[in-house]
Structure formats: structure tokens, C-alpha cells
Amino acid sequence: MRESAEMGIGETFGVQEGDVEGVIAKVRDGLGDVDGRLRTVVREHPVLALFGAVVIGYAFGRLLTRS
């Protein structure tokens, strides 16, 4: 049996080689849907979106600067 570092992506995730392109297309479509919904929410509620971005940025900053 081959080491996991030597295995291809299809073998690692249990996907046939021909199916990898299909999986990539599905992921790309899903990300496109999320992007579209996010853009719609930001257009409809820009102040709330800005506030959310500031809060998330502050939280990440606090997490990364902890010793």
C-alpha cells in the first residue's frame, strides 16, 4: 500500500479521476451562489455589513494577538 503522501487527490478523497472535474465544478457553482447571496445582503444592508466586518476583524485581531 502506498503512503498517503504518494496518493493522488482522487484516491485520497475516494473520488474517481474523471469525477474530480465534476466535483470542482460543483464547488465553483456553490461558491458562486454564496458570493451572489453575500453581495445581495451587502447591497441591501451596507451599514450592517460594515459593522459585521468590523466586529469580525476585531475578533480575529484579538485572537491573533493573544499570547
pTM comes to: 0.53
Amino acid 27 reads: V
Q: Which three cell numbers stand for residue 55?
A: 466586529
Q: Is residue 6 part of a domain?
A: no
Region of 16 on the Ramachandran plot (φ > 0 left; ψ -120 to 50 alpha; else beta): beta
Question: How many domains does the chain fold into?
Answer: 1
| Count of positions (residues) in the chain | 67
Gap between the Cα atoms of 28 and 35, Å rounded = 10
Residue 41 in domain: yes
- Which structural domain, as residue segments, surrounds residue 24? 16-65
pLDDT in tens, 2-42: 555 555 655 666 666 668 888 888 899 899 999 999 999 99
pLDDT tens digits along 50-61 = 999 999 999 999
